[in-house]
């Protein structure tokens, strides 16, 4: 592909949910050479909200459903296949007051003729005292990511919320917990009838109506939650080891606050059914401007609209610098492959990345190199984000370090012994000594520096 030499980008897409990837796909196929800034920590993770769910059963084209992270891997691959360039970072600031527009991301300034805002929405927190103490030590905003961790197995768990997400998570958690309490602020569920029926028919779920979480109990791990009734009077104390938040989302519009009109909840205001915002050349896509529908398919559709509108606008103002392609048909898309669990027969003492407890035992005792161990679960979206970054680190270190991947679903005992409290957890060993441990997605550079210090 011949890249444009333009210093000013035609189009920058901010956000990598269904809206962002679809917008980038359309813009890339229109030869606009789009730059997509995926996001990293602010307002969600690369891939967006579907990285925190299991089965997506309503996205057309997948008759048997598809895992959320897998769907997002596919959208990403399709956008990249057609030439979308990715920057894996947050946009720290966006200045729409002069043209070309200016963005700060990844420690540099990016200028753009047009921008598509596809920053989606973020999970809300309760803001109860002690939340920070027990965050990742019993409290989680993602049942799907963390539900399989050993600390939650056969324990009482709770979900707070009354919508579809809360119901979905309560049902999901019955796979792991001995009992699931659903804590609902009102005397009814906001969830769809079908979802509410599933919850109420499930003998493992107890719904607590008119209740709010007031206090957390426990020392190093959540052991109980105190509930109050609608008038703030003490109600019951539940002996739960896990509390999962499903209390809605806030649109990620901080970047444009004061620059573009927002509604009372912070959603971007656009002309009804149109992606154009109040500033020409700035378009919106997905949940960031949609309090009503908030579905993957509606986000993807609005991403398509935004890209087509941006293309028209750039062409109309004679601003588009298009690329020409050496090959009309790009190479086939690359998709991430699952890690193979090795046995005595196929264990390779020099492999950069292999899976399972056998490999861990062998390398832990025998390897003289820094050893990274990542704990994952198949439905953990952040793991999908983190693993490719870690693979890059190992490739760059050119065999000087090794990785073993432990799937919590297959090796729950190993994870429990290692004190792992959620996925992804990354541990760094040298000579059998644990040197460092990280929870959640980390900057690639931080992990690389820690490993290099052990070489």
Ligand X SMILES: Cc1cc2nc3c(=O)[nH]c(=O)nc-3n(C[C@H](O)[C@H](O)[C@H](O)COP(=O)(O)OP(=O)(O)OC[C@H]3O[C@@H](n4cnc5c(N)ncnc54)[C@H](O)[C@@H]3O)c2cc1C
For residues 37 and 447, which CB has a smaller minimum distance to ligand X in the complex?
37
CA separation for the pair 236, 233 (Å, rounded): 10
For residues 355 and 381, which CB has a smaller minimum distance to ligand X in the complex?
381
Q: In the set 79, 96, 121, 159, which binds ligand X (CB under 6 A)? A: 121
Q: Of 131, 150, 204, give the one whose Cα is nearest residue 172.
A: 204
CB neighbour burial string for 91-118, b if at least 16 within 10 angstroms, e if fewer:
beebebeebbbebebeeeebebbbbbbb
Active site residue 145: no
Give me the least distance between CB of 45 and ligand X, in Å please: 6
Beta strands in 324-424 (DSSP E): 353-355, 371-376, 402-407
For residues 18 and 355, which CB has a smaller minimum distance to ligand X in the complex?
18
DSSP calls for 228-277: E-TTS-EEEEE--SEEEE---EEE--GGGBTTB-B-TTSPBP-STT--B-
Classified as helix, coil or strand, 289 is: helix
CA separation for the pair 347, 433 (Å, rounded): 22
Q: Of 317, 321, 174, give the one whose Cα is nearest residue 244.
A: 174
For residues 45 and 359, which CB has a smaller minimum distance to ligand X in the complex?
45
CA separation for the pair 368, 431 (Å, rounded): 6
Classified as helix, coil or strand, 135 is: strand
Binding positions for ligand X, 222-281, rule CB under 6 A: 252, 255
Residues 6+ apart with CB under 8 A from 346: 340
Residues 6+ apart with CB under 8 A from 433: none
Q: Which stretch binds ligand X (CB under 6 A): 195-203, 234-242, 256-264, 296-304?
A: 296-304
For residues 112 and 360, which CB has a smaller minimum distance to ligand X in the complex?
112
110 binds ligand X (CB under 6 A): no
Size of the site for ligand X (CB under 6 A): 41
- Cα 365 vs. chain centroid, distance in angstroms? 34
Q: Which stretch binds ligand X (CB under 6 A): 13-21, 227-235, 319-327, 424-432?
A: 13-21
CB 229 within 8 A of CB 148: no
103 binds ligand X (CB under 6 A): no
177 binds ligand X (CB under 6 A): no
Classified as helix, coil or strand, 31 is: coil
Q: In the set 70, 287, 311, 405, which binds ligand X (CB under 6 A)? A: 287
Structure tokens at 362: 């062998």
**H or E segment to which residue 95 belongs:** strand 91-95
Q: In the set 83, 242, 286, 424, which binds ligand X (CB under 6 A)? A: 286
Q: In the set 296, 310, 314, 373, which binds ligand X (CB under 6 A)? A: 296
CA separation for the pair 150, 422 (Å, rounded): 8
Q: Which stretch binds ligand X (CB under 6 A): 34-42, 320-328, 353-361, 406-414?
A: 34-42
Q: Which stretch binds ligand X (CB under 6 A): 39-47, 257-265, 371-379, 415-423?
A: 39-47
Q: In the set 11, 12, 13, 19, which binds ligand X (CB under 6 A)? A: 19
Question: Could you tell me whether strands 205-208 and 282-284 are parallel, antiparallel, or unpaired per DSSP bridges?
Answer: unpaired
Classified as helix, coil or strand, 160 is: strand
Give me the least distance between CB of 441 and ligand X, in Å please: 11
- Of the chain, the end-to-end C-alpha distance in Å amounts to 38
35 binds ligand X (CB under 6 A): no
For residues 47 and 355, which CB has a smaller minimum distance to ligand X in the complex?
47
Binding mask of the shown chain, residues 375 to 414, with x at each position contacting ligand X by CB under 6 A: ----------------------------------------
Q: In the set 12, 27, 37, 191, which binds ligand X (CB under 6 A)? A: 37
Q: Which stretch binds ligand X (CB under 6 A): 40-48, 184-192, 333-341, 371-379?
A: 40-48
For residues 184 and 255, which CB has a smaller minimum distance to ligand X in the complex?
255
Binding positions for ligand X, 140-169, rule CB under 6 A: 165
Q: Which stretch binds ligand X (CB under 6 A): 42-50, 209-217, 371-379, 435-443?
A: 42-50
Give me the least distance between CB of 216 and ligand X, in Å please: 23
Active site residue 383: yes
Q: In the set 39, 83, 162, 355, which binds ligand X (CB under 6 A)? A: 39
Give me the least distance between CB of 106 and ligand X, in Å please: 10
Helix axes 296-316, 18-29, angle to 10 degrees: 40
Residues 6+ apart with CB under 8 A from 138: 151, 216, 218, 221, 222, 223, 240, 241, 242, 243
17 binds ligand X (CB under 6 A): yes
Active site residues: 380, 383
Binding site for ligand X (CB under 6 A): 14-20, 37-39, 42-50, 52-53, 56, 58-59, 90-91, 118-121, 165, 252, 255, 286-288, 294-297, 299
């Amino acid at each position: 592909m011949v890249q444009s030499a333009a210093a000013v980008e035609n189009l920058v897409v901010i956000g990598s949910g269904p809206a962002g990837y679809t917008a980038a796909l359309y813009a890339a196929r229109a030869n606009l050479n789009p730059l997509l800034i995926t996001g990293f920590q602010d307002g969600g993770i690369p891939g967006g909200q579907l990285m925190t769910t299991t089965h997506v059963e309503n996205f057309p084209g997948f008759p048997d459903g598809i895992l959320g992270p897998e769907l997002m891997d596919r959208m990403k691959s399709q956008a990249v296949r057609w030439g979308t360039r990715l920057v894996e970072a947050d946009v720290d600031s966006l200045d729409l007051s002069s043209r070309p527009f200016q963005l700060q991301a990844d420690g540099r300034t990016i200028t753009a003729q047009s921008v598509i805002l596809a920053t989606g929405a973020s999970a809300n927190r309760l803001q109860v005292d002690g939340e920070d103490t027990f965050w990742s030590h019993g409290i989680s905003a993602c049942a799907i990511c963390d539900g399989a961790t050993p600390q939650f197995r056969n324990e009482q768990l709770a979900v707070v919320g009354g919508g579809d997400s809360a119901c979905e998570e309560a049902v999901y958690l019955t796979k792991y917990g001995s009992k699931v309490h659903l804590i609902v602020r009102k005397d009814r569920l906001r969830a769809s009838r079908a979802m509410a029926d599933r919850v109420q028919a499930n003998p493992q779920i107890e719904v607590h109506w008119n209740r709010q979480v007031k206090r957390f109990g426990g020392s190093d791990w959540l052991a109980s939650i105190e509930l109050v009734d609608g008038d703030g009077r003490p109600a019951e104390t539940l002996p739960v080891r896990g509390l999962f938040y499903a209390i809605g989302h806030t649109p990620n519009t901080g970047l444009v606050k004061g620059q573009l009109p927002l509604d009372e909840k912070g959603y971007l205001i656009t002309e009804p059914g149109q992606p154009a915002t109040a500033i020409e050349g700035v378009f919106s896509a997905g949940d960031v401007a949609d309090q009503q529908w908030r579905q993957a398919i509606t986000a993807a559709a609005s991403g398509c609209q935004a890209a087509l509108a941006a293309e028209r606008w750039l062409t109309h103002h004679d601003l588009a610098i298009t690329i020409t392609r050496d090959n009309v048909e790009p190479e086939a898309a690359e998709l991430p492959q699952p890690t193979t669990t090795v046995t005595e027969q196929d264990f390779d003492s020099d492999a950069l990345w292999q899976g399972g407890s056998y490999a861990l035992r062998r390398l832990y005792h025998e390897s003289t190199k820094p050893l990274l161990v990542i704990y994952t679960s198949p439905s953990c979206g952040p793991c999908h984000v983190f693993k490719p970054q870690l693979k890059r680190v190992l490739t760059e270190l050119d065999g000087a370090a090794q990785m073993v991947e432990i799937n919590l679903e297959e090796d729950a005992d190993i994870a429990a012994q290692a004190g792992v409290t959620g996925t992804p957890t990354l541990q760094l060993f040298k000579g059998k000594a644990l040197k460092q441990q990280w929870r959640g997605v980390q900057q690639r550079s931080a992990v690389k520096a820690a490993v290099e210090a052990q070489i």
